[in-house]
Structure 1
Amino acid sequence: MSGASFVAMAGGIYFGGYTYMAFLVGWTGGYILVSSLLAPYLRKFGCYTVPDFIGTRYGGNVARFCAVVVLTLASFTYVTAQINATGTIAARALQIPFELGVWVGLFSILLCSMLGGMRAVTWTQVAQYIVLITAYLIPIFWISNKGGYGLFPHLMLGEEVARLGELEAQFGLVKNAAADVKAAGVPGGLKSISLPHSGVPAGGMAAWKFISLALCMMVGTASLPHILMRYFTTPSVKAARKSVAWSLFFIALLYTSAPMLATVSKLSLMDPNLPTVLLEKKFPL
């Protein structure tokens, strides 16, 4: 999973609400495509890399070279975004400049890869996931407990989104967000509170935009080189299917938690019944 999954997904849903759910649908659907249409058959073919598969399937070095070029361009674009996320996290966590954070992150990744190889990278990612998902879930259950949203807040998401919609209508944030924010003098860091969270975009094109974005993310996720190459190295076709199934479980755990974290975080700042409310007390609209 990328930095966008841990760093940007909850923030995106917090910022834009319904629209950003297309990313969740697309990313999760991409792994379903991998499990049903790609991983078992790629492993059955007996190759170990995507260029190897392309070269063997279509014959000749020309096809293999074209596959290498396409994978290099795709990987470079993807890695650039990941490096940006790495630099941002390192800069915030270590209180260092962004540029230095990029170099710290790159050096750490390079050191781990060179010393231990692919096995070290895989087990390091396992440890990272355990740490990150724990840090991700603790705020959800803590805020849910303080706000009275239930022991398992994921089952209460519908009610919480409905409550958020009521608060948005109460504060006039759905129709007059820009004017309200300007009149209230809300600081820049809090302006995202004013964006509609639960409202579904109007217009015939809104649904098509959502579907097209989800489909693009689905196909793009299923074709990511660093995801496909892991299934080439599984012991058998059965192991490839099992690997994707476990991946889907852990991905679903994160992606079902992202909307929850965004919603309870926004509610904690908007609900006047909670002691953490900020919008009504300091910036009455």
Structure 2
Amino acid sequence: MVDQSFVARLKKVYSIYTGGLIALLILLYIGEKLFGLPPTFIGYVFLFGTIAVYAAIGIISRTGKVAEYYVAGRRVPAVFNGMATAADWMSAASFIGMAGALALQGYNGLAFIMGWTGGYVLLGVLIAPYLRKFGAYTVPDFLDARYGGKIPRLVGIIATIIVSFTYLVAQVTGVGIITSRLLGLPFEVGVFVGLMGILVCSFLGGMRAVTWTQVAQYIVLIIAYLIPVTVLSFKYTGNPISQISYGFALQEIDKRLAQIKEDPKEQEVREIHKKKAEELKAKIAALPQSWEEGKKKLEQALASLPEGDPKRKEIEKQLKEYPKSPQEAKEKWTEAMKKEEAASKPPKPYTEPPKTAKDMANFLALTLMLMLGTAGLPHVIMRFYTTPTVREARTSAAWALFFILLLYITAPAYAAFGRYELLNLVGKSFAELPSWVQKWAAVNLITVKDLNGDGIIQFGEISIHPDMVVLATPEIAGLPYVIAGFVAAGGLAAALSTADGLLITISNAISHDLYYKIVNPNISPSTRVKIGKALLLVIALLGAWVASFRLAIIVELVAWAFSLAAASLFPALVLGIWDKRTNKYGAVAGIIVGLVVTLAYMIASRFYGFELFGIKTIAAGIFGMPLNFIVTFVVSRLTPPPPAQIQEFVDNIRYPKGAVKAGAEE
């Protein structure tokens, strides 16, 4: 049963918290306008102020009890679990990356919105309530009980770690971008500074601390996300409801792009990009000699300059960034060639859907992988283990969808207004470049180069990283820095909330599922929790180290995680609930085949340029997922059926009442 007095206390606490947050915003705005508070000070307030609040919640919620550490004592009310789930779900990819992808890709970016929202419906209908009824701690717990034996648990652990760690790297990347922008630090340093904010919550109190922190983080991220786009909407249309007014921006974008397509100066710039692409193609063809010659040329140029010459710094930077081997040169130059080729083509209409069969196949494949991957993400599924009852799990799924909806129906408006503002740069002289360009160029998220030497900014001379669109929009629109700082705090909240959930998931997979359930079942509960906390530190540091290499944009990294989840865990979970005949042999074989095929395609596509039917890396799971289903079905039918008690377990888990295997703490 739900404790109503507990719910009332929670409402009171979070109402006070929201009021205090709004008051802080007003005070900082007054300080900036009347007393000239510097941006650096405001950045420090938002970064350390919000992290201090999250840390305080973590300290208050600290626990050594197993049920509290793993599933928050199973007493989180539906509304608050919905907010925590939404925060856990709406990662840096949703907050930072999704609107950025929409702003730069137009219609094609809608795959992310349709896939993620559709996937959450699948999760709420097909999986979440039934796993809550099962009443364990983790996804591998379910695989063990449903399929029997330690092998299903072990392959589930491996899949969980691979999926969650890939996702974790994306979140730490987002934290690094925001921290480096707020504090003016290099990205590689910002990653590790931001890591402290991740650890203060999850380390102290596990899922209990993470849950109540995520509720606070959701409040920050949704207010921060809505303010700039509401102001922009009112600025251009007189209507503050951006979700219904951004049609104006879409029309203006398509008009402007049509003009850019026919502009002779733009055509001149596109030709320059075409020549650069051809030069890179020639360099790739001439490897390894071209790599050796390029390195030698830079070394000779550096040696010819006297000490103290300002040009030395630039050449030293080029040498540092120069590929370390011919193989790395091939990867970097191929990626650069593809970018130049894309920039050499006229801009497509912003609202135009995919035209070719190849583009449409990629769009649909990505949408499907995001949907099925959503329903197979271990860190999201774990949130439904924290509610008091099965009914509360169903209700919390509906609340979570509502809280997610608030951001997802706003993202297209954000993208449209952001794109419109960016297009306002075109036609200005380089002498008029606004200050925000230099600020974001300092963290390598935008470059503007006068390629044709006319002193005027052309569309083809602007290169923007998708991850900067949301964070830079307040500054682009000329809003006070306090709003820009608050948006960064919102992005930080989104990244921290998901990173916390992922860290808990990975550490639980090792400490609970692997060590306790397989290696040493006699370990004491307090030792299990201590091992989980130690693993949090190790995994967090490893994630930050990998993120510092900037392997891909945030949205791409997240899409990899979703493809892996769709191809490995989703079939085993769905068939485990809805097909009595599926057995452990089929499930294990299916997970292995789906995971291996998807990983192989990702590596071959991302690093060696291999493509099958034109499918891109981010939709790689489209090959592994159906193979998983087929292998699971066929192998299950060719091997003995599950024992009678397992088949009865499957029947019972689908009934709407009761709990099949609730923990002792319930």
Contact 1:137 1:257 in 2 (8 A): yes
Report the CA distance shift for 1:267/1:44 in structure 2 as closer, same or farther (over 3 A). Answer: same
Which range moves more in the overlay, 198-207 or 252-261?
198-207
Which residue of structure 1 aligns with residue 418 of structure 2?
265
Contact 2:131 2:384 in 1 (8 A): yes
Which of 261, 267, 277 is the matching residue for 1:179? 267
**Counterpart Cα distance in 1 of 2:351 and 2:238:** 17
Q: Secondary structure at the match of 1:279?
A: coil
Which residue of structure 2 aligns with residue 39 of structure 1?
128
Is 2:157 aligned against 1:4? no
Which residue of structure 2 aligns with residue 120 of structure 1?
209
Is 2:363 aligned against 1:217? no
Is 2:109 aligned against 1:109? no
Q: Deviations over 1:216-254 (max 9, x none)?
A: 011111111100111122211111111111111111111
Report the CA distance shift for 1:157/1:117 in structure 2 as closer, same or farther (over 3 A). Answer: same
**Counterpart Cα distance in 1 of 2:370 and 2:141:** 25
Correspondence list, 1:133-144, <5 A = 133-144=222-233
Q: Secondary structure at the match of 1:151?
A: coil
Contact 1:172 1:180 in 2 (8 A): no
Structure 1: runs of 5 or more not aligned: 186-190, 271-276
Which residue of structure 2 aligns with residue 236 of structure 1?
389
Q: Which amino acid aligns with 1:9?
A: M
Number of residue pairs aligned between Structure 1 and Structure 2:
272
**Counterpart Cα distance in 2 of 1:139 and 1:205:** 36
Larger Rg: 2
Cα offset for 1:171? 2.7
Is 2:464 aligned against 1:279? no
Q: Deviations over 1:94-118 (max 9, x none)?
A: 1112222221222222222222332
Contact 1:164 1:198 in 2 (8 A): no
Contact 1:162 1:198 in 2 (8 A): no
**Counterpart Cα distance in 2 of 1:208 and 1:237:** 38
Q: Which amino acid aligns with 2:361?
A: W
- Give TM-score scaled by structure 1 length: 0.86
**Counterpart Cα distance in 2 of 1:284 and 1:73:** 42
**Counterpart Cα distance in 2 of 1:99 and 1:239:** 42
Cα offset for 1:25? 0.7
Q: Secondary structure at the match of 1:172?
A: helix
Which residue of structure 1 aligns with residue 69 of structure 2?
none
Alignment RMSD: 2.6
Is 2:201 aligned against 1:201? no
**Counterpart Cα distance in 2 of 1:249 and 1:176:** 48
**Counterpart Cα distance in 1 of 2:124 and 2:134:** 15
- Give TM-score scaled by structure 2 length: 0.38
Cα offset for 1:158? 3.6
Which of 15, 20, 24 is the matching residue for 2:104? 15
**Counterpart Cα distance in 2 of 1:162 and 1:13:** 15
Which residue of structure 1 aligns with residue 219 of structure 2?
130
Q: Which amino acid aligns with 1:85?
A: G
Q: Secondary structure at the match of 2:246?
A: helix
Cα offset for 1:215? 0.4
Q: Deviations over 1:142-186 (max 9, x none)?
A: 11111125231211334432332122213327x99973655899x
Which residue of structure 2 aligns with residue 151 of structure 1?
240
Which residue of structure 1 aligns with residue 507 of structure 2?
none
Report the CA distance shift for 1:177/1:199 in structure 2 as closer, same or farther (over 3 A). Answer: farther
Report the CA distance shift for 1:112/1:171 in structure 2 as closer, same or farther (over 3 A). Answer: same
**Counterpart Cα distance in 2 of 1:112 and 1:281:** 46
Which range moves more in the overlay, 241-250 or 93-102?
93-102
**Counterpart Cα distance in 2 of 1:202 and 1:176:** 26
Report the CA distance shift for 1:177/1:43 in structure 2 as closer, same or farther (over 3 A). Answer: farther
Report the CA distance shift for 1:21/1:6 in structure 2 as closer, same or farther (over 3 A). Answer: same
Report the CA distance shift for 1:91/1:166 in structure 2 as closer, same or farther (over 3 A). Answer: same
Cα offset for 1:284? 6.9
Cα offset for 1:269? 4.2
Which residue of structure 1 aligns with residue 114 of structure 2?
25
Cα offset for 1:31? 0.8
Structure 2: runs of 5 or more not aligned: 1-89, 274-342, 430-456, 460-666
Q: Which amino acid aligns with 2:200?
A: L
Report the CA distance shift for 1:261/1:71 in structure 2 as closer, same or farther (over 3 A). Answer: same
Q: Secondary structure at the match of 2:163?
A: helix
Which of 85, 88, 92 is the matching residue for 2:181? 92
Contact 1:184 1:284 in 2 (8 A): no
Contact 2:354 2:363 in 1 (8 A): no
Which range moves more in the overlay, 162-171 or 54-63?
162-171
Which residue of structure 2 aligns with residue 251 of structure 1?
404
**Counterpart Cα distance in 1 of 2:96 and 2:265:** 26
Which of 123, 138, 151 is the matching residue for 1:62? 151
Q: Which amino acid aligns with 2:403?
A: F
Which residue of structure 1 aligns with residue 564 of structure 2?
none
**Counterpart Cα distance in 2 of 1:255 and 1:104:** 29
Q: Secondary structure at the match of 1:5?
A: helix
Which range moves more in the overlay, 176-185 or 6-15?
176-185
**Counterpart Cα distance in 2 of 1:6 and 1:55:** 35
Cα offset for 1:131? 1.4
Which of 80, 94, 105 is the matching residue for 2:169? 80
Report the CA distance shift for 1:150/1:126 in structure 2 as closer, same or farther (over 3 A). Answer: same
Which residue of structure 2 aligns with residue 273 of structure 1?
none
**Counterpart Cα distance in 2 of 1:176 and 1:215:** 41
**Counterpart Cα distance in 1 of 2:238 and 2:149:** 60
Report the CA distance shift for 1:219/1:180 in structure 2 as closer, same or farther (over 3 A). Answer: farther
Contact 2:99 2:414 in 1 (8 A): yes
**Counterpart Cα distance in 1 of 2:131 and 2:415:** 37
Which range moves more in the overlay, 87-96 or 109-118?
109-118
